[in-house]
Amino acid sequence: QPVRLADYRPYPYVIDTIALDIALDADETIVRATLSVRRRGAAAEPLVLDGKNLQLRQLRLNGAELPADGFVATPDRLEIMAPPAEFTLETEVAIHPARNQSGKGLFWHTNRLITHCEAEGFRRITYFPDRPDVLATYTVRLEADRQAFPLLLSNGIPMESGEAGQRHWTLWRDPFPKPSYIFAVMAGRFETLRDHFTTAEGQEVSLAIHAEPGEAARCAFAMDSLKAAFRWDERVFGLSCDLPVYNVVALPAYAGAQENKGLNLFGADGIIADPAITTDEDFALIRRIIGHEYFHNWTGNRVTCRDWFQLSLKEGLTRLRDQLFMEDELEPGTYRIEQVKTLRRNQFPEDDGPAAHPVQPAEFVEIENFYTATIYEKGAELLRMLRTLVGAERFVAAIRAYLVRFDGQAVTIDDLFDTIEREADVDLAQFRRWLHQPGRPTVTVAREYDPERREARFTFSQRLPVNGEPGQPLHIPIAFALFDPQGGHFGKPLLIELRDWSQTLVIADLPRAPVPSILRQFSAPVSLEADLSDEELMHLAVADDDAFVAWNSAQQLFTRGVRELALEQPAAMDALVPPAMVEIARRLLADARRAPGLTALRLSLPDEPALSEGLDRIPLDSHMAARNAIRRAIGRALADPIHSLYEQLSAIDPLDLSAPAMSGRNLRSVLLDFRLAAGDEKGVSACLAQIEEGPSFTEAFEALCLLGHCDRPERQAAFEAFHHRYRDQPLVVDKWFKAYALSRATGVIDEIIALEGHSAFDISNTSRAVAYYGSLFRQNRVAFHDASGKGYRFLADRLLMMDQMGRGHPAFFMAQIDQWRRHDEPRQTLMREQLQRIAGTSGISRSLDEVVNRSLG
């Protein structure tokens, strides 16, 4: 029984204020709520409030109890049959945080009481219309034992506090009306890092990051990132923090992040940073998610979603904002490439599988299953295309106009598009199809050059995926430039707006056939087919001033090589590696110092699922064998330049977090991978030395990951030693599970499964469970697909187990198995059998049922 966008109707009541009085206790918490309610329209209707596992203890309307036939209360719903036009409703419920395993509502976590409400968790705390279009002003009084819960936090501003015997209380008031999903409470013992920020308007904001005692000093980088995000949003979008107090909480053993108003919540891995245990990638991730949750304060909190079909309105837009923030921080061009990699790895397969859905879905069963790469990543791409079409300045102006116009409201993606249309004076009628058509268009470019007329013709065509509904052509911005094969550009870069199935562009006055640079900056989320020669791709890979096209050209060339080689027998592959593979690597290495980060990206061989983009079948084994043969060939043929560059890069200061230093370390790890691929002892000793000596933690950890893929006797000992060295650092132990679970060594699936019995593993530690299971099920392209089917059986067992525990995010783990139809036998059958086993198990949740049956089709 799906929920449908078309069935939306406004809530018939307005709830102006809610006052909560919460007596906190791990076993039994008492929640008293006072709602001021008034009818929206003229007609009287019952008042229906959501609930989940609530025990009603008291109910009063305008101070009086209701007759038994005046209301219906169940743990999951409260209905008042005939309320007056305007009234006060008081409820008192009991809830049981220690028994709440769902990770939603109020629950007990590492000796603290915390909440997580998005999307539908608030109904586990009190009876309320738990939907994003009901905005109320919250006052929250928290009361708890002083010893156990020294700090009592909620949204907004602390107004008063006091003590009463063993207990104490704090009263919080959030001046801004908000939807229930960004309500939050945190109570417990923390150590706090404090700072402050003065906004462009001269308002003081007190900043606090609350973490596990002993960890406050390790919050300094997150604090710096928070201030950088404040500054960036002021500078780029003209948006300042609207509260005098901004709290951030870092929770151990927790995964994810949440933009609760004035009280952002993060798993510790999103906050805690220390060069001794944090990789460059983690540093960048912390900066990004700190930025992401802060940017939600405007795009999501001040202006929110009318219903969950509009989820991308806040997530796509906020993702775009965090991307733009990071692009300003890292080596130019590289972060855009990282985004495209993420999109191709996570979103393209979604498009190509049974979970395909548009950025604005028309229906869903369980909203939890729709926090997808399509909503976040493709949603961000849609808005980025609009930014490309109207220009960065007009785009910012339009976003600002949208925030002014809809401040304090819950709106739709169409409301945003309408505003952009009006402010930037564009017609988005055709562009809006992107919101409703699932799947990804393929753009092909055919070309001709006429030397007599000195003229080139380019024909751009688009086709839509065959499995989708017969769609209509999309409005696709294609950034385009022409290079002179003898060096330099021909003319200026152009923006082509492809609106028809096919369009031709003629360019005159060209002395010779140009090399086209297509889809610069990845100007649209499409698959691209252009028949460039190896020599042309090499030219672009080295010489294009657009980082994306340079990288993508190298990727295309390597992909071509892998696919070609994959047609050969594995034993013959080493001898048949196409010469262009080594040649491109040679050219890129020669120029490596100019842009080390870009070079690292260009030299990294494409992996699944990128290698199979656009193919109906994933020839997994032959792709992997061919990919390895190419790595080996490059590692051997270029051993000397690789070695000397590797040595030169060892001089980077491990404490230097500047973009060039991070890029240099990244390149060094890519080179180490080629050294290992070459298969000689020198590479292995370099790897072992790097694990021991780094010199940075990044280099040590990356080397461990690389060794994890090698069939070497040193592998297990190295993993054990690394665990021993960091056993007191939970965040490193999480990463250790990740490195192990990503391992691609031969037959390693048994070892990975056995890791579940390791004394450091605990399924109720969410960050560890995500690191371990997530890496194996979502990302390991080899061990998960072990031909025995053990990986698939393990996934099914754990999906069932987590579902039974009431704590499943099943959609998250389906990324690979959802592709079962594209795999060879016997994998296809083995995967289908496991899906059928889950579907045939009685008593599974609606959520698991939805994803498994969708997968089976």
Q: Which residues are catalytic?
A: 293
Q: Which does 631 bind (CB under 5 to 8 A by kind): ligand ARG, Zn ion, none?
A: none
Select the residue whose beta carbon is closest to ligand ARG and give its number: 371
182: contact with ligand ARG by CB under 6 A: no
- Number of chain residues interacting with Zn ion (CB under 5 A): 2
**φ/ψ (deg, to 5) at 30:** -105, 125
User: Given the complex with Zn ion, which of 247 and 297 has the nearer CB atom?
Assistant: 297
Within 13 Å and on the Cβ side, how many CA atoms surround 260?
A: 28
Q: Please, what is the minimum distance in Å from the beta carbon of residue 346 to ligand ARG?
A: 14
Residue 522 carries which side chain, given as an amino acid letter? F
String of b and e for 133-168 (b: at least 16 CB within 10 Å)? bbbbbbbbbbbbeeebbebbbbbbeeeeeeeeeebb
State the amino acid at position 765 in one-letter form: N
Cβ 311 to Zn ion shortest distance, Å: 9
Q: Rounded to an integer, what distance in angstroms lies between the CA atom of residue 716 and that of residue 713?
A: 7
- Distance between CA atoms of residues 717 and 521, nearest Å: 43
Residue 258 interface partner, choices ligand ARG, Zn ion, none, CB cut-off 5-8 Å depending on type: ligand ARG
The site map against ligand ARG for 77-116 (x = CB under 6 A) is: ----------------------------------------
Site for ligand ARG, residues 292 to 351, rule: CB under 6 A: 292-293, 315
In the complex, least distance from residue 293 CB atom to Zn ion, rounded to whole angstroms:
7
Please tell me whether residue 368 binds ligand ARG under the rule CB under 6 A. Answer: yes
DSSP string, 199-219: -TTS-EEEEEEEESTT-GGGG
- Torsion angles phi and psi, residue 191, rounded to 5: -110, 140
- Where do we find the tokens 């994890």? 708
Which of these segments, 251-259, 570-578, 771-779, 846-854, binds ligand ARG (CB under 6 A)?
251-259
Nearer to Zn ion, 183 or 548 (CB): 183
Query: Is residue 258 at the binding interface for ligand ARG, with CB under 6 A as the rule?
Result: yes
Name the segment binding ligand ARG (CB under 6 A); options: 257-265, 402-410, 469-477, 742-750: 257-265
Partner in contact with 215, chosen from Zn ion, ligand ARG, none, beta carbon below 5 to 8 Å by kind? none
Looking up tokens 């000689």 gives: 680
The least CB distance from residue 228 to Zn ion, in Å, is: 18
Q: Closest CB to ligand ARG among 118 and 331?
A: 118
Minimum distance, C-beta of residue 316 to ligand ARG, in the bound complex (Å): 11
When CB distances are held under 5 to 8 angstroms depending on the partner's kind, the choice from ligand ARG, Zn ion, none that residue 368 binds is ligand ARG
Element (H, E) at 460: strand 455-463
Is residue 715 a contact partner of residue 707, using CB atoms and an 8 Å limit?
Answer: yes
Among the residue ranges 255-263, 499-507, 642-650, 662-670, the one whose residues contact ligand ARG (CB under 6 A): 255-263
Residue 257 CB, shortest distance to ligand ARG, in Å, is 5
CB 726 within 8 A of CB 733: yes
Residue 28: CB minimum distance to ligand ARG, A:
25
Of 377 and 803, which has the nearer Cβ to Zn ion?
377
Choice from 371, 406, 449, 761 touching ligand ARG (CB under 6 A): 371
How many residues touch ligand ARG under the rule CB under 6 A: the total is: 10
Q: Which is nearer to ligand ARG, 343 or 532 (CB)?
A: 343
Q: Which residue has the tokens 């230093």?
A: 661
* Distance of closest approach, residue 368 Cβ to ligand ARG, in angstroms: 5
Under 8 Å between Cβ of 95 and 29 = yes
Half-sphere exposure of 189 (CA within 13 A, CB side): 8
Interface with Zn ion in residues 296-315 (CB under 5 A): 315
Which one among 113, 119, 541, 584 touches ligand ARG, defined by CB under 6 A? 119
Q: Does 702 bind ligand ARG (CB under 6 A)?
A: no
The DSSP code for 160 is: E
Which segment (53-61, 254-262, 776-784, 829-837) binds ligand ARG by CB under 6 A?
Answer: 254-262
Q: What is the dihedral of CA 297, 300, 304, 306, to 10 degrees?
A: -170
* Comparison of 258 and 334: residue with beta carbon closer to Zn ion: 258
β-bridge partners, 246? 207
Distance separating alpha carbons of residues 435 and 414, to the nearest angstrom: 9
Contact flag: residue 811 with ligand ARG (CB under 6 A)? no
Of 523, 473, 463, 537, nearest in space to 493 by CA: 523
List beta partners, residue 89.
35, 61
- Report the nearest approach of ligand ARG to the CB of residue 308 (Å): 10
676 binds, among Zn ion, ligand ARG, none (CB under 5 to 8 A by kind): none
Q: What is the C-alpha end-to-end distance of the chain, expressed in Å?
A: 16
Task: Report residue 344 as tokens.
Answer: 């191709």
Nearer to ligand ARG, 119 or 140 (CB): 119
Q: Cα separation of 420 and 424, whole Å?
A: 6
The H-or-E segment that residue 249 falls in is strand 245-251
Cα distance between residue 532 and residue 517, in whole Å: 10
Closest to Zn ion by CB, 218 vs 288, is 288
CA nearest 208: which of 197, 199, 198? 197
Binding site for ligand ARG (CB under 6 A): 118-119, 257-259, 292-293, 315, 368, 371
Residues that bind Zn ion (CB under 5 A): 315, 318
